[in-house]
Amino acid sequence: MGEGSMYSKDLVHLARVAMSGRPQDAQTLVQRLARRYQRTNGELSESLRGLLRATPHLDAPMRDHGNASPVPLDGDTRQALIRTDQLGPVRSPILAAPVRAQLEQLRDEHRMRDRLEAAGLAPSRTGLFVGPPGVGKTLAAHWLASELKVPLLVLDLATVMSSYLGRTGSNIRKVLDYAKSSPSVLLLDELDTVAKRRDDEAEVGELKRLVTVLLQEIDDWPSTSLLLAATNHGDLLDPAVWRRFDVIANFPIPGPAELGEALNQYCGDAGTEVIEFLTRILAGHSFADAERFVLAAKRKAVLTDERLFDVLLAAGQDRLRTMDHADRLQIALDLLQDGELSQRRVSELTGVSRDTLRRRQRHT
């Protein structure tokens, strides 16, 4: 593409955004063009930067100045389309090392935006969190907002889908315009909702237009905020959606190390033995499953005036009894291999005889 053709394309794009009545998007596009032409046309780049410096930043007075802007409402139900979670204590999420590295870089890019911009770069604007329920996607978004000291705005796409599908695009635009008006982290929860509702053939056209709205908004997202999306069903997403995100983080079911760390948090001072036992009993389950299990035990311990240690062990043994013999035996062998519990204690906990354990150990 020639330089003149590139200028024409960018000019048309800028005019389209400006005429759509979205000033935040127009300002974001000017910022992007200033960076793009920094190397090839320094004079044009500096003129665009001068225009930005001379234009007041389009922050709405909704959070930083204590004068709240109205939350966008659904035109039919008049219910709020977005949930705002203000800053507060957020525990650091327990994550696999690759995911933690991605989140920390996202945080650092936005914390050190000035350094990136001085090098002609911009921080990542968008991230897609993929994984089954209960593995920490929402907690990770809370943590990022807390680390960046900005509000977390949550848009649940399952609830924003209007009974009249044609209005859903308008609802989404309202929310995204609201989120752009001041630095924030916006979480689009259940992104796959858009792809899953394909049972009514009459609505397929509207769904395609809705996906187009989302893609346009993701493309035009300002670098002053962070747009995150979460999905439990990445396989249902439109392929074009994947390409729009700067960062894609895959949240797996926790392994033994991550699950053990989480149980240490949930159980408090219940003891090493119960943590080792429950880590094996709850293998393959999410953080949310493990937390529910521990909370149920805590409630029972309070109501029955028993030690939490005893209640947790009994609950673990109850769950163990529902498993077949092969699974119980494997858990017993894993506990022995961990080296924290004696053979006698493993036999007591799992119900697998010591003779069976000795025979299996001799053959491994």
What sign for the dihedral angle of Cα 260, 261, 266, 272? positive
DSSP per residue over 193-247, as a string?
Answer: HHHH--S-GGGHHHHHHHHHHHHHHHHT--TTSEEEEEES-GGGS-HHHHHH-SE
Is the model's pLDDT at 14 over the cut of 80? no
Question: 304 and 182 in one domain?
Answer: no
Same domain? 44 vs 172: no
pLDDT at 361 over 80: no
Residues 265 and 167 in one domain: no
- pLDDT at 80 exceeding the cut of 90: no
Domain assignment of residue 326, given as a range: 256-362
Higher pLDDT, 164 or 304: 304
202 confidence band (pLDDT: 50, 70, 90): very low
- pLDDT confidence bin for 256, thresholds 50/70/90: very high
Are residues 220 and 91 part of one domain?
A: yes
Task: Determine whether 252 is exposed, middle or buried from the number of CB atoms within 10 Å of its CB (0-12, 13-18, 19+).
Answer: middle
CATH number of residue 204's parent domain? 3.40.50.300
Question: Looking at residue 74, what is its pLDDT?
Answer: 64
97 and 226, same domain (yes or no): yes
Write the pLDDT tens digit of every residue in 87-141: 566 778 899 999 999 999 999 999 999 999 899 999 999 999 999 999 999 999 9
Residue 175 domain-assigned?
yes
Residues 159-175: pLDDT tens digits? Answer: 666 555 566 777 778 88
Nearest residue to 89 via CA among 148, 166, 154, 143: 143
Q: Classify residue 60: in a domain, yes or no.
A: no
DSSP states along 100-111? HHHHHHHHHHHH
Q: Are residues 270 and 310 in the same domain?
A: yes
- Asked whether residue 277 is assigned to any structural domain, the reply reads yes
19 and 124, same domain (yes or no): no
Domain stop point among 250, 277, 298: 250
**Residues 306, 313 contacting (CB under 8 angstroms):** no
Strand 126-130 relative to strand 247-250, pairing: parallel
- Three-state SS at 185: strand
Closest among 68, 73, 69 to 160, alpha carbons compared: 73
The model's pLDDT over 33-76, given as tens digits with 9 standing for 90+, comes to 777 777 777 778 777 777 766 554 443 333 333 334 677 776 66
Instruction: Based on the fold, state whether residues 136 and 231 are members of the same structural domain.
Output: yes
Whether residue 232 sits in one domain with residue 202? yes
> In the structure, what pLDDT confidence band is assigned to residue 77 with cuts at 50, 70 and 90?
low
- Whether the predicted pLDDT of 328 surpasses 50: yes
Instruction: Judge whether 222 lies within some domain.
Output: yes
69 in any annotated domain: no
Looking at residues 238-248, what average pLDDT do you find? 88
264 in a domain, yes or no? yes
| pLDDT of res. 30 | 78
pTM beyond cutoff 0.85: no
Domain count of the fold of the chain:
3
The domain boundary residue, chosen from 250, 270, 295: 250
Indicate if 188 and 244 belong to the same structural domain.
yes
Q: Which two tokens stand for residue 231?
A: 């999905």
Rounded Cα distance between 301 and 48, Å, is 65
Q: Are residues 90 and 237 in the same domain?
A: yes
Which of 227, 250, 273 finishes a domain? 250
User: Looking at the domain assignment, is residue 161 inside a domain?
Assistant: yes
Sheet of 126-130, strand order:
83-85, 152-156, 185-189, 226-231, 126-130, 247-250
Residue 61 within any structural domain of the chain: no
Q: Is the model's pLDDT at 197 over the cut of 60?
A: no
Q: Tokens at residue 33, please?
A: 């063009």
Please state, rounded to an integer, the average pLDDT across all residues of the chain: 81
Residues 116 and 203 in one domain: yes
